[in-house]
């Protein structure tokens, strides 16, 4: 009796109270009950029959073009879990990234693999690979390829978890779609349309419209996400990581866009479609040939911090080439009260791009604002050798018309801009830009401005406050703009010892950004990446950066990059006191 009790106690400890272990595999039969590996369910049967407390082990294998629907619900204490296993029924384990790289993950030899198949390059008829409509569902260690949508959390679902779920090649990839990239526009890798989803250690490659759509009611959490797009001769991912809802948190977002693809590098994007996108936080990111982009009037109060934007393509001086125009921090079409901080940018198109264009989105009639943006702030960034200019103000004419208004109260604080042909690049905008640049260094910059502004200008009240030119422009270049303490001191950068680095890289603000006057406090306190106050009230520039020790350009795809190399970009910052 004691042995029986002890055995039961151990099983309860392993599985949890009320949890039952089930099994599913390719060889499963509808007449089986899933209670053992030799009596395994089919995967479709497992999705339809698992109930709260069930943990279903799913053996590695090629499951074909299934459309799995997870409609049953677990509870907060008893989830329904589907755990992918290897061929020996051992659960696959992940650390801080997907288990496999490249084609290894899209093989039934390694992982449960759903393959919607290829129909002349168009997967529109293949539906959804995984659809979750129930609550408290946990799906772990799966690969999904060749559907219209790979993985969908439906609007009715809450508390869905996707862990080490890998998505590839969804939507319409026909080569005849490469003229404009919008003839067929439907594929999605992950679509979060419900509430409280968690994505952990997931990967997406080449969905023709959107890699990850963060929508629904929001409150989603995405950690350790990897994305890659490389379809040069066919339609490929437009928006790789798109926020369309509120109160979401994304950390360690790593994405790469290969040269030659059609779409223009929409990397981390805030673009609500008829709703608000606010109070979202991105903390830790690494983008290759992609940009951070915040647009529309209902995109406000968002924070993007602690990352790198690297350009490995393009022609120096060009501004229209698709490869080249991908890399920058963009505020556009009325977005307001957003903050981007603690970013290193290597040879981007522009450091900061403030633009106004006529957008073709369905909600553009009401959401497309009447200016480039207002009350947006950039703090503590380093821009190294931009291809066209450090700061751009642009109006745009496209197939939807012409919009060309100016930015309002753009605030650029505590930054360092190095090299490049000009500070400002102008392109066909109208009106007067307002705002200011404070506590900032321009080192070895060729000219004050360039391009063609149309009738646009920087307002004479635009503030240059504690700005230093080193090895470049004379202070007279800033006339007639408002200035205080312009200088031309030769700058010497000193690398901080590694022991001084605070690995949290946290700005540690609890202030709700929307409608708040937080920038005045920021400028006076001079908080830097180390969460330390500067030695003087106005010691200029991004606080931690050593331009003599630039890291090597990354090689291979993001998935094959060493994590330490990615984080190396955060360590090349400096104290300039």
CA–CA gap between residue 135 and residue 531 (Å, rounded)? 40
Find, among 323, 265, 264, 336, the residue nearest to 294 by Cα.
336
CA distance 449 to 252: 35
How many angstroms separate the CA atoms of 140 and 91, rounded? 9
Q: What's the rounded Cα separation, in Å, for the pair 100 and 113?
A: 13
CA distances, 6 to each of 2, 3, 11, 12 (Å) = 6, 5, 9, 10
For residues 267 and 273, give the distance between their C-alpha atoms in angstroms, rounded to a whole number: 17
Residue 425 · residue 386 · CB < 8 Å: no
| Helix (H) or strand (E) segment spanning residue 81 | strand 80-84
Q: Read off the pTM.
A: 0.83
Query: Quick one: which H or E segment has residue 6?
Result: helix 2-15
Phi, psi for residue 278 in degrees, rounded to 5? -145, 160
Rounded distance between C-alpha atoms, residue 77 and residue 373, angstroms: 45
Q: pLDDT tens digits for the chain (577 residues)?
A: 454 544 444 444 445 555 799 999 999 998 999 999 999 999 999 999 999 999 999 999 999 999 999 999 999 999 999 999 999 999 998 766 666 555 667 888 999 999 998 655 666 678 999 999 999 999 999 999 989 999 999 999 999 999 999 998 888 766 654 444 456 677 899 999 999 999 999 999 888 889 999 998 899 999 989 888 876 555 677 889 999 999 999 998 988 887 666 666 789 999 998 889 999 999 888 888 899 999 999 999 999 988 888 887 755 444 444 444 578 999 988 899 999 988 878 888 899 999 887 776 666 666 777 778 889 999 888 888 898 899 998 877 655 566 667 888 999 987 888 889 999 988 878 888 888 888 788 888 988 888 876 677 888 778 887 777 777 777 777 777 766 667 666 554 433 333 333 332 222 223 232 233 323 323 333 333 333 333 433 345 664 433 333 333 334 333 333 333 333 322 222 222 2
Q: How far is CA 112 from its chain centroid? A: 27
* Pair 572, 501: CB distance under 8 Å: no
Backbone angles phi, psi at 104, to 5 degrees: -55, -35
**In b/e form, how buried is each residue of 148-161, taking b as 16+ CB within 10 angstroms?**
bbbbbbbeebbbbb
Rounded Cα distance, 68 and 126, in Å:
12
């Amino acid at each position: 009796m004691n042995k029986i009790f002890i055995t039961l106690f151990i099983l309860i400890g392993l599985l949890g109270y009320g949890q039952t272990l089930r099994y599913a595999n390719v060889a499963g039969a509808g007449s089986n009950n899933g209670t053992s590996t030799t009596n395994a369910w089919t995967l479709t049967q497992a999705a339809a029959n698992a109930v709260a407390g069930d943990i279903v082990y799913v053996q590695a294998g090629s499951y074909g073009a299934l459309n799995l629907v997870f409609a049953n619900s677990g509870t907060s204490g008893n989830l329904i879990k589907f755990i992918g296993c290897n061929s020996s029924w051992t659960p696959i384990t992940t650390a801080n990234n997907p288990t496999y790289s490249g084609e290894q993950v899209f093989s039934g030899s390694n992982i449960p693999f759903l393959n919607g198949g290829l129909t002349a390059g168009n997967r529109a008829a293949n539906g959804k690979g995984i659809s979750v409509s129930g609550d408290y569902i946990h799906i772990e260690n799966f690969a999904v390829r060749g559907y219209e949508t790979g993985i969908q959390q439906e609007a009715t679902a809450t508390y869905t978890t996707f862990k080490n779920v890998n998505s590839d090649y969804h939507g319409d990839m026909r080569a005849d779609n490469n003229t404009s990239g919008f003839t067929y526009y439907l594929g999605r890798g992950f679509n979060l349309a419900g509430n409280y989803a968690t994505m952990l250690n997931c990967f997406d490659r080449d969905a023709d419209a959107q890699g990850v759509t963060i929508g629904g009611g929001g409150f989603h959490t995405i950690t350790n996400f990897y994305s890659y797009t490389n379809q040069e001769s066919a339609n490929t991912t437009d928006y790789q990581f798109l926020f369309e809802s509120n109160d979401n948190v994304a950390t360690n977002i790593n994405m790469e866009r290969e040269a030659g693809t059609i779409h223009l590098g929409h990397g981390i994007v805030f673009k609500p479609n008829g709703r608000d996108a606010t109070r979202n936080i991105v903390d830790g990111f690494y983008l290759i040939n992609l940009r951070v982009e915040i647009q529309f009037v209902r995109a406000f109060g968002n924070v993007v911090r602690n990352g790198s934007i690297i350009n490995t393509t393009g022609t120096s001086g060009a501004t229209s080439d698709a490869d080249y125009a991908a890399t920058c921090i963009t505020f556009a079409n009325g977005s307001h009260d957003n903050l981007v901080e603690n970013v290193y940018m290597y040879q981007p198109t522009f450091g900061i791009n403030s633009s106004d264009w006529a957008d073709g989105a369905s909600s553009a009639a009401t959401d497309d604002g009447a200016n480039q943006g207002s009350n947006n702030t950039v703090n503590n960034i380093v821009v190294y050798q931009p291809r066209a200019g450090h700061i751009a103000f642009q109006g745009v004419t496209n197939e939807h018309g012409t919009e060309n208004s100016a930015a309002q109260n753009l605030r650029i604080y505590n930054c360092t801009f190095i090299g490049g042909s000009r500070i400002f690049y102008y392109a066909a905008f109208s009106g007067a830009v307002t705002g200011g640049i404070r506590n900032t260094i321009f080192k070895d910059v060729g000219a004050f401005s360039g391009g063609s502004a149309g009738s646009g200008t920087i307002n004479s009240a635009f503030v240059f406050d504690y700005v230093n030119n080193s090895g470049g422009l004379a202070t007279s270049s800033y006339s007639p703009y408002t200035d205080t303490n312009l200088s031309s001191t030769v700058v010497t950068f000193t690398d901080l010892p590694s022991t001084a680095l605070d690995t949290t890289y946290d700005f540690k603000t609890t202030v709700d950004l929307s409608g708040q006057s937080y920038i005045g406090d920021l400028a006076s306190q001079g908080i830097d990446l180390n969460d330390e106050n500067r030695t003087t009230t106005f010691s200029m520039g991004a606080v931690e950066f050593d331009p003599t020790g630039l890291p090597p350009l990354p090689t291979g795809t993001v998935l094959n990059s060493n994590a330490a190399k990615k984080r190396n970009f955060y360590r090349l910052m400096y104290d300039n006191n």
